[in-house]
């Protein structure tokens, strides 16, 4: 593809009973702008024999962005946060120097019925100067995110800046995440609307770009100014994300991100010894990977 640098195909993996698709990091592309990790959760059916129960685990040097398309999750963390997230809203947790959290199916949905869980778990690396900031948590309701139409094509600015608008999600570097949903065939223009590197994540449907047809389960990676014409097939659902890359390399080990490998070693030891900030209302513990 002449102007798309890379196509990344989703690779499935299991986390307990929950199937997720890993999109980045990928061996040829570790980051897209400041975005360093994207898991596609589901779509999967949850019910009496299977719920989402991600036990207490740590993060450092990044912000997590949880964006649900279907289903709901309860987020709790070592900041004493208790927050339900519904489709279209954003949970934004900045780990900074260290935070722990759990993600679980709400108790009222454990009622014998089945439902679909589908969403994206995204990590955004912090700028070097903010890697050791105090942790924070913010929830932004879907109705408070900028939304607009171009004909029958719907746009939502999930985070950052783009298309002349700004999301209320308190990001820490120049970035963007935009949801695009169309009913009819649509020519998508990103040049001059977004800045930096861009990942085009195909949730449903498909696109034609640079003479290639690309279907759901793939991410296309480029620089915004190099992106060729993107034609959406009818009933396509995209997530556009990216931004300005950092000048320094980022290292990643498990749930820890840093520009300094020595900090990763500190985080490993702190989690293994349970001297990391821990939750007071949850005694579960995900061990450090061997």
Decide if 1 is inside a domain: no
pLDDT tens column, 64-79? 999 999 999 999 999 9
Q: What number is the average pLDDT over the span 128-136? A: 98
Q: What number is the average pLDDT over the span 104-109? A: 96
Show Cβ contacts of residue 62 under 8 Å, excluding neighbours closer than 6 positions. 36, 37, 94, 95, 123, 124, 125, 126, 257
Per-position DSSP letters for 194-260, written without gaps between them? B-SEEEEEEEESEEEETTEEEETTEEEEEEGGG---EEEPSS-EEEEEEEPPPSS--EEETTEEES-
Predicted pLDDT at 158: 98
CATH number, residue 217: 2.60.120.10
Decide if 86 is inside a domain: yes
Q: What number is the average pLDDT over the span 233-251? A: 96
Does pTM surpass 0.95?
no
Decide if 172 is inside a domain: yes
How far, in Å, CA of 239 to CA of 199, rounded? 8
- Our count of domains for the chain comes to 1
Per-position DSSP letters for 70-101, written without gaps between them? ES-EEEEETT--EEEE-TT-EEEEE-TT-EEE
Q: What is the CA radius of gyration of the chain?
A: 19
Decide if 252 is inside a domain: no
Decide if 262 is inside a domain: no
The percentage of the chain sitting over the pLDDT mark of 70, rounded to a whole number, equals 90
More confidently predicted of 37 and 286: 286
Spatial contact of 257 and 28, defined as CB atoms under 8 Å apart: no
Decide if 221 is inside a domain: yes
pLDDT at 154 over 60: yes
Decide if 93 is inside a domain: yes
Predicted pLDDT at 28: 55
Mean of all residue pLDDT scores within the chain:
90
How far, in Å, CA of 68 to CA of 203, rounded? 12
Which residue segment(s) compose the domain that 190 sits in?
A: 6-243
Tokens 């800045």 -> residue: 195
pLDDT at 205 over 70: yes
pLDDT at 175 over 80: yes
pLDDT at 14 over 80: no
Predicted pLDDT at 138: 98
Predicted pLDDT at 6: 61
pLDDT at 19 over 80: no
Decide if 271 is inside a domain: no
């Amino acid at each position: 593809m002449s102007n798309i640098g890379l196509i990344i195909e989703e690779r499935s993996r299991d986390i307990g009973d929950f199937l997720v698709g890993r999109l980045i990091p990928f061996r040829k592309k570790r980051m897209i702008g400041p975005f360093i990790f994207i898991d596609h959760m589901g779509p999967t059916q949850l019910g009496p024999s299977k719920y989402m129960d991600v036990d207490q685990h740590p993060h450092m040097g990044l912000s997590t962005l949880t964006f649900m398309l279907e289903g709901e999750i309860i987020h709790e963390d070592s900041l004493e946060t208790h927050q339900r997230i519904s489709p279209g809203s954003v949970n934004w947790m900045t780990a900074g120097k260290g935070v722990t959290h759990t993600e679980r199916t709400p108790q009222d949905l454990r009622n014998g019925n089945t439902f679909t869980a589908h969403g994206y778990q995204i990590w955004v690396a912090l700028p070097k100067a903010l890697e050791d900031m105090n942790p924070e948590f913010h929830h932004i309701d879907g109705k408070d995110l900028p939304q607009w139409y171009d004909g029958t094509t719907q746009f939502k600015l999930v985070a950052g800046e783009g298309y002349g608008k700004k999301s209320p999600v308190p990001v820490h570097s120049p970035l963007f995440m935009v949801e695009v949903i169309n009913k009819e065939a649509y020519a998508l223009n990103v040049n001059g609307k977004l800045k930096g590197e861009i990942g085009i994540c195909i949730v449903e449907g498909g696109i034609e770009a640079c003479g290639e047809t690309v279907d759901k389960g793939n991410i296309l990676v480029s620089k915004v100014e190099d992106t060729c014409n993107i034609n959406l097939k009818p009933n396509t659902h995209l997530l556009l994300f990216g931004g300005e890359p950092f000048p320094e390399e980022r290292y990643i080990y498990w749930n820890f991100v840093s520009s300094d490998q020595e900090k990763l070693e500190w985080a490993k030891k702190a989690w293994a010894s349970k001297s990391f900030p821990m939750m007071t209302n949850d005694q579960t513990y995900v061990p450090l990977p061997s």
